[in-house]
């Protein structure tokens, strides 16, 4: 009888524990809890999963149509390690230089807004080759729904191969800087990591940070980041954790935070914040000029 009661009690306890376990909600994508525990794998895959949600899409109002005029760059193609060609928008310096800036698009794709950013960097910095990488292999989205579909269709291995192809195109003697926004902000940091000893500086605009300390330890350049206190992806707590992670990894990170939401630096975005964008742009230029 005692054995039966003991077995019954053990079964009850097990059921109660499992019931509690399954009722504990998983941390929401985009929160610090998810940043730390949602995925044991690649943070780039974590971003892809988040970008496939309606909550993430809701943070992105459809951009105002913009057409680039008086373009000085040209579309180029270059090989990538996976055997497929990649492409980008290249503005070459008037004088031969080993300085390169790899510009990484938002989740909309390599549209005319990003090409304008490349044009602005080339004009204001001068002694640098600017290559805006096409991460979607020619596809561009005009609505949040279509951008979400494009993100769902991405393959992390292919994205990394495109980036490696761009680094290879710049050449083994290139001094490589990176800059990007949102999806591109995340890939700006990832590209600098992939650039190894050639990395010279990374500029991140509201991009998901790397959370793997061992990977951060391989970074060979300083980072400057611009984030919104009203942003939900990455949320302020995630940015704070990134600052702590970079300190533990022994890497230099400077962050600037604004009372602004996601995508605040895109003039085509209805939530564009002119003052925050101007301040961030000035600081980004100073960061790049000091290292060219």
pLDDT band at 257 (very low <50, low <70, confident <90, very high): very high
Which of 248-252, 260-264, 280-284 has the least mean pLDDT? 260-264
What is the arithmetic mean of pLDDT over 157-172? 98
For the segment 60-86, what is each residue's pLDDT rounded down to a tens digit?
A: 888 888 899 999 999 999 999 999 999
Domains of the chain: 38-289 (3.40.50.1820)
Answering whether pTM is above 0.85, one says yes
Judge whether residue 26 has pLDDT over 50: no
Residue percentage of the chain with pLDDT more than 90: 78
Mean pLDDT within 80-103: 98
- 10 Å CB burial of residue 262 (0-12, 13-18, 19+) is buried
How large is the average pLDDT for residues 79-106? 98
Q: What pLDDT, on the 0 to 100 scale, is given for residue 27?
A: 55
pLDDT band at 192 (very low <50, low <70, confident <90, very high): very high
DSSP states of 132-185 as a string?
EE-TTTT---SSHHHHHHHHHT--HHHHHHHHHHHHHHH-TT-EEEEEEETHHH
Interacting residues of 159 by C-beta distance below 8 A, sequence separation 6+:
44, 135, 187
Say how far apart CA 108 and CA 153 lie, in whole Å: 13
**Residue 221 and residue 197: Cα distance in Å, rounded?**
8
Q: Using CA atoms, how far apart are residues 163 and 72, in angstroms rounded to an integer?
A: 23
Those residues whose C-beta lies under 8 Å from the C-beta of residue 233, and which sit 6 or more positions away, are: 29, 30, 50, 56, 59, 206, 208, 262
Six token digits for residue 16? 């109660």
- Output the CA–CA distances (angstroms, integers) from residue 36 to 148, 210, 224, 288, in the order listed: 24, 10, 22, 31
pLDDT band at 39 (very low <50, low <70, confident <90, very high): very low
Return the pLDDT at 37.
52
Nearest to 191 by CA among 200, 206, 245, 115: 200
Render pLDDT for 204-254 as a digit per residue (tens, 0 to 9).
999 999 999 999 999 999 999 999 999 999 999 999 999 999 999 999 999
Give the CA-trace dihedral at 255, 257, 261, 262, to 10 degrees. Answer: -10
| CA atoms of 119 and 124, how far apart (whole Å) | 9
* Model pLDDT, residue 32: 53
């Amino acid at each position: 009888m005692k054995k039966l009661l003991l077995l019954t009690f053990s079964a009850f306890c097990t059921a109660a524990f499992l019931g509690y376990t399954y009722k504990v909600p998983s941390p929401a994508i985009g929160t610090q809890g998810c940043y730390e525990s949602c995925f044991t794998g690649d943070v780039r895959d974590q971003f892809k999963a988040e970008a496939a949600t309606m909550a993430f899409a809701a943070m992105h109002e459809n951009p105002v149509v913009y057409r680039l005029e008086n373009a000085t760059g040209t579309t180029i193609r270059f090989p990538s390690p996976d055997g497929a060609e990649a492409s980008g928008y290249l503005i070459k310096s008037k004088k031969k230089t080993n300085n390169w800036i790899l510009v990484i698009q938002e989740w909309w794709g390599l549209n005319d807004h990003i090409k304008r950013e490349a044009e602005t960097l080339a004009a204001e910095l001068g002694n640098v080759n600017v290559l805006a990488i096409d991460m979607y292999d020619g596809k561009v989205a005009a609505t949040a729904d279509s951008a979400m579909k494009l993100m769902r269709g991405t393959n992390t291995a292919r994205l990394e191969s495109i980036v490696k192809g761009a680094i290879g195109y710049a050449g083994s003697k290139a001094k490589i800087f990176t800059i990007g926004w949102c999806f591109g902000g995340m890939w700006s940091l990832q590209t600098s990591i992939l650039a190894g000893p050639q990395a010279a500086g990374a500029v991140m605009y509201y991009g998901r940070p790397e959370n793997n300390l061992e990977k951060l330890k391989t970074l060979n350049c300083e980072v400057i980041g611009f984030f919104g206190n009203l942003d939900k992806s990455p949320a302020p707590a995630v940015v704070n954790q990134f600052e702590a992670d970079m300190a533990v990894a022994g890497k230099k990170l400077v962050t600037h935070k604004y009372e602004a939401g996601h995508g605040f630096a895109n003039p085509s975005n209805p939530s564009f914040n002119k003052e925050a964008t101007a301040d961030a742009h000035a600081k980004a230029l100073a960061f790049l000029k000091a290292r060219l």
